[in-house]
Structure 1
Amino acid sequence: MAYPGNPAPRLTDGAGSTLPLLAYLAIATVLMVADLRGGFAAQARVHLSALAEPVWWLAAAPGRLIDGAGEMFTSRASLQDDNDRLRRELQVNASRLHRLLAVAEENQRLRELLGGTRGFRLNAQLAGIIDVDLDPSRQRIVLDAGSNDDVRVGQAMIDAGGVLGQVIEVTPRHSTALLLTDPEHAVPVQVARTGLRAIAYGTGRTDMLRLPSIPQSGDIRVGDRLVTSGIGGRFPAGFPVGVVESVKPDETQLFVVAEARPSARLDRGVEVLLVSNIADGVNAGPPLPPPPVPEQENEQAAGDAAATDAGAAAAGETE
């Protein structure tokens, strides 16, 4: 029944909507038969996959970027940790190297000090410097060895270069030494080249000694080495004292005055050697203990002693 304004459906409308469906079904059937016969679908999928690879690569790019960034940060943190560890190891090794260098320098200083007594029959005792007074009118040093260490007044003091001075005051734990360049100090010297004897006086300067009243006939020249003569017994003979730097007449024109530079390192060094002749018996040290007797010899000696006692007792009973 038809109502006004609502026309009845026509057959051509239903057929028009069904024909495309039938066409799709027919095409799909043909494609399936062709794929079954010739495998065209597999080849098409291969070509389509090659064309789709850029799309897949672009789709996976954000994930790769995230993974790469994570690896980069992880590697950077690991490198930072390794860098910090290596820096700490470098600091530790540097401090150890500095200590080894300090020990090597100290060893070299001690070798030089001990080398200064080579060839002499002397007792030598090492002492450290704990205080220095280089005032022009008072040049003295304080040592960390005293009477408890067998230091005595008048003992000569040397370093790797030569004579430094002598001990003038001793306490149980410390001692005071007068330096070679003190204005109140004098040491008998001898010119190594000619054997000329003289007296070297301190001038208050660490770089100068004065040798006055040398006869005009005395053979002394610039560059001559001065050594201790041993006269007076205070300083052992043969130790370097200085090198002559100038020779000139005195005010009276009757004698010659020489000036020498000290051989000792008065403004450097932290250790000195206190030396004395072996004949003095100073610093000879306590006698060595007897060598230990092996345990077997002890047992054998005890057995022999026991046998001797037993024999003596038997002899007493017999009597």
Structure 2
Amino acid sequence: MALARTDTSPLFGSGATSTLRLIVYLSACVALMVADHRGQYLAQLRQYLHLMIEPVYHAAALPADAARAVRKAVADRSALTEENQRLREALLLTQARLNRLDSVAEQNTRLKELLEVQHSVGMGVQLAKLVDIVLDPYRQRIMLDVGANQGVVLGQAVLDAYGVMGQISEVLPNTATAILITDPTHAIPVTVDRTGLRTVAYGSGSSDRLDIPNIPLSADIKPGDKLVTSGLGGRFPAGFPVAEITSVGTDSSGMFAAAVARPSAALERSGEVLLLRPLTDPVGPPALVDPGGPPAPPPEEATVTADAKVPPP
């Protein structure tokens, strides 16, 4: 007979039956524990029960795991954003430093080349920096940071590490302006280094071109020939590179040959230049050379000797 819902009889009541039931239950428990300990008979059952209960654990922990994942994602995103910003700033700073180092290295290279030119020309030179440059087709000029107060004079030749750039055309107290060899109003006497042919190179208004017209048709000139200063006119000392012939043809009349040359100087890239100062020759005759031998007696002693009287015998 089933117990009613209001029946509150205990599982183990008083009496011999209840005591026997308790003993049976305890014996069964002990037997199960011994069997499980000795033979691991209930391990498979526990695994099945664990697999059945595991989804309940995950479902119960799902809200906490979701909240933790959201907090971690937000924190990671913020940290990654900050780290990305720091890395971007560090990259920009490093790039700026590298660019500065490259610029300094290039400047050192140019200065080294200028110093080598200074040691090789055998003339007095003065270093100057470009302040401004004008490469207009009708006006090719550069401005330098030295002037009359630094000893600059009109007509001084200006060159870089590769060749002649121009000459000083205007001098102010602390600045000077130089006309480039490519200016349309400029001409420079040159010599073909290979053959010795003398001619004149004219500015074309373009920083990468010089025109050499009125060349005799029989002249030996060809692309690749080097043009150097001839020294005629007294403005440019002889022997400095000026340009290289790039093409040779005939003029419109057909009576003369005409050539085009590329300037040797880096007119668009040079930042430092040299101003030539010819070494002045000594003024007056050379000093007398001592012929050697015993020194002459002093004038006073010679006079006394000449005026002395010989005593009578």
What is the one-letter code of the residue matched to 1:131? D
What is the one-letter code of the residue matched to 2:13? L
Secondary structure of 2:89 counterpart: helix
The aligned counterpart of 2:248 is 246
Match of 1:33 among 9, 16, 23: 23
> What does residue range 2-81 of structure 1 map to in structure 2 within 5 Å?
21=9, 25=13, 29-30=19-20, 32-40=22-30, 43=33, 51=49, 53-54=53-54, 55-81=56-82
What is the one-letter code of the residue matched to 1:196? L
The aligned counterpart of 1:123 is 124
Distance change in 2, residues 1:191/1:31 (3 Å): farther
After TM superposition, give the deviation of residue 114 of structure 1 in Å.
4.1
The aligned counterpart of 2:95 is 94
The aligned counterpart of 2:105 is 104
C-alpha separation in 2, matches of 1:99 and 1:114: 22
C-alpha separation in 1, matches of 2:257 and 2:5: 144
The superposition leaves residues 63-122 of structure 1 with CA deviations (integer Å, 9 ceiling, x where unpaired) of 333333333333333333322222221121122122222223333333444454563213
- Aligned residues: CA RMSD: 3.8
Distance change in 2, residues 1:48/1:32 (3 Å): farther
Unaligned residue ranges in structure 2 (runs of 5+):
37-41, 283-313
> What does residue range 119-158 of structure 1 map to in structure 2 within 5 Å?
119-158=120-159
The superposition leaves residues 169-213 of structure 1 with CA deviations (integer Å, 9 ceiling, x where unpaired) of 211110011111234322221110012222323344434434455
Tell whether the 8 Å contact from 1:34 to 1:40 is kept in structure 2 after alignment.
no
Equivalent pairs: percent with the same residue? 44
C-alpha separation in 2, matches of 1:84 and 1:205: 47
After TM superposition, give the deviation of residue 246 of structure 1 in Å.
1.7
The aligned counterpart of 2:289 is none
Higher helix share goes to which structure? 1
The aligned counterpart of 1:225 is 226
The superposition leaves residues 273-319 of structure 1 with CA deviations (integer Å, 9 ceiling, x where unpaired) of 222334479xxxxxxxxxxxxxxxxxxxxxxxxxxxxxxxxxxxxxx
C-alpha separation in 1, matches of 2:121 and 2:5: 132
Unaligned residue ranges in structure 1 (runs of 5+):
1-15, 282-319
Tell whether the 8 Å contact from 1:236 to 1:276 is kept in structure 2 after alignment.
no
After TM superposition, give the deviation of residue 50 of structure 1 in Å.
7.2
What is the one-letter code of the residue matched to 1:171? L
Secondary structure of 1:95 counterpart: helix
Distance change in 2, residues 1:74/1:143 (3 Å): same
What is the one-letter code of the residue matched to 2:91? L
C-alpha separation in 2, matches of 1:223 and 1:266: 20
The aligned counterpart of 2:189 is 188
After TM superposition, give the deviation of residue 135 of structure 1 in Å.
4.0
The aligned counterpart of 1:292 is none
Tell whether the 8 Å contact from 1:161 to 1:263 is kept in structure 2 after alignment.
yes
